[in-house]
């Protein structure tokens, strides 16, 4: 009975440790431009525009003498379900500003479109809702040249927002445009982008600086390469402790079974109940998408082993 309780405790520790990962945002890109670009992103530029990363910032430059053109960094995959696209955008004093901000590109082939929130004409901010079935724009002029822009979808509603205090922890967002629709294009997959563009023919040099690009979504279409980040120490410790608990319990029970000659761990009904519970847990965690391949394999192996008789 004591070993039975130890086994349950170890399993609960696995449940608690793995639940520490957030199932609500299974696909995340957190790009601070301090090294090589995240493999889920692609940079592109034309008509003299360039993109460089310096001291943790992405600098979009257009030399003087060039007319229209632009540059962007966007996802190689498509976001599905609820999503968030956020980036900090700023200008340098004395350099002509370009249109710049964040954009979601809707990808339904029959009626594509986009939504964007961005700087235009210096300190003016526009929020265009141009994804079918909508076509409208709102603007504001808070008089700043440094802001956080974000686009988020919650259910069937998309919000275009800005925060003019980007160093305060993204706590002061203002919704400039929002819309709700069940249109297949509006709630369908999108790409996430930051962009800078000149479309009014000005030949002045332009420079835009981006930082803190964050993209999250419930799901994806296409290839997504998970981050190679290190798991939380607390989660790793709980997982290690729980796996050790299972190993210790199994070894002790096997030893007692050999000495007693019973050849069984517990009653058949109890074993069936334990296996059923573990199987349901494995399926739910795998469906959530927060379990890595190694952990998923280990839990599946433990579940499979629970169905096998111990040698007498």
Nearest-CA neighbor of 31 among 214, 290, 267? 214
Given a contact cutoff of 8 angstroms between Cβ atoms, the answer to whether 166 and 160 are in contact is no
pLDDT tens digits, 263-296: 444 555 554 555 454 445 444 444 444 444 444 4
Q: Which two tokens stand for residue 243?
A: 């796996």
Question: How far apart (Å, rounded) are the C-alpha atoms in residues 204 and 296?
Answer: 55
pLDDT tens digits, 236-251: 555 555 555 556 556 6
- pLDDT score recorded for residue 308: 47
Q: Which two tokens stand for residue 124?
A: 């003016």
CA torsion sign for 269, 273, 276, 279 is negative
DSSP state letters, 268-289: HHHHHHHHHHHHHHHHHHHHHT
Q: Report the Cα 217 to chain-centroid distance in Å.
A: 5
Is pLDDT of 98 > 70? yes
Tell me which of 23-37, 195-209, 220-234 is least confident: 220-234
Its pTM stands at: 0.68
Question: How far apart (Å, rounded) are the C-alpha atoms in residues 239 and 72?
Answer: 41
Residue 184 pLDDT grade (very low, low, confident, very high; cuts 50, 70, 90): very high
Greater pLDDT, 177 or 262: 177
pLDDT tens digits, 3-19: 555 555 555 555 444 44
- Residue 305: how many other CB atoms lie within 10 Å: 12
3-state secondary structure of 63: coil
Tell me which of 101-110, 204-213, 301-310 is least confident: 301-310
Given a contact cutoff of 8 angstroms between Cβ atoms, the answer to whether 33 and 52 are in contact is no
Nearest-CA neighbor of 7 among 257, 260, 303? 303
The share of the chain scoring above pLDDT 70, in percent, equals 63
- pLDDT score recorded for residue 221: 95
Average pLDDT value for the chain = 77
- pLDDT score recorded for residue 306: 47
- Residue 145: how many other CB atoms lie within 10 Å: 15
């Amino acid at each position: 009975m004591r070993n039975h309780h130890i086994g349950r405790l170890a399993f609960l520790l696995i449940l608690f440790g793995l639940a520490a990962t957030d199932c609500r945002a299974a696909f995340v890109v957190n790009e601070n431009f301090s090294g090589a670009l995240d493999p889920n992103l692609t940079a592109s530029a034309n008509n003299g525009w360039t993109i460089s990363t310096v001291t943790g910032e992405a600098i979009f430059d257009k030399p003087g003498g060039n007319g229209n053109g632009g540059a962007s960094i966007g996802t190689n995959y498509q976001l599905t379900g609820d999503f968030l696209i956020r980036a900090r955008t700023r200008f340098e004093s004395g350099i002509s500003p370009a249109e710049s901000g964040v954009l979601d590109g809707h990808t339904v082939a029959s009626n594509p479109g986009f939504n964007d929130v961005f700087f235009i004409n210096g300190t003016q901010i526009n929020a265009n809702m141009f994804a079918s079935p909508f076509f409208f724009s709102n603007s504001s002029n808070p008089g700043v040249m440094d802001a956080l822009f974000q686009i988020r979808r919650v259910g069937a509603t998309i919000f275009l927002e800005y925060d003019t205090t980007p160093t305060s922890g993204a706590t002061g967002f203002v919704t400039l445009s929002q819309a709700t629709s069940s249109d297949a294009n509006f709630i369908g997959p999108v790409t996430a982008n930051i962009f800078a563009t000149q479309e009014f023919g000005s030949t002045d040099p332009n420079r835009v600086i981006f930082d803190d690009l964050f993209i999250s979504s419930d799901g994806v279409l296409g290839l997504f390469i998970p981050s190679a980040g290190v798991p939380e120490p607390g989660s790793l410790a709980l997982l290690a402790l729980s796996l050790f608990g299972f190993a210790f319990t199994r070894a002790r029970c096997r030893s007692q079974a050999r000495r007693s000659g019973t050849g069984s761990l517990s009653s058949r009904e109890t074993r069936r109940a334990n296996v059923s519970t573990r199987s349901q847990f494995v399926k739910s965690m795998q469906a959530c998408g927060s379990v890595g391949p190694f952990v998923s394999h280990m839990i599946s192996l433990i579940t499979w082993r629970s169905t096998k008789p111990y040698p007498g």
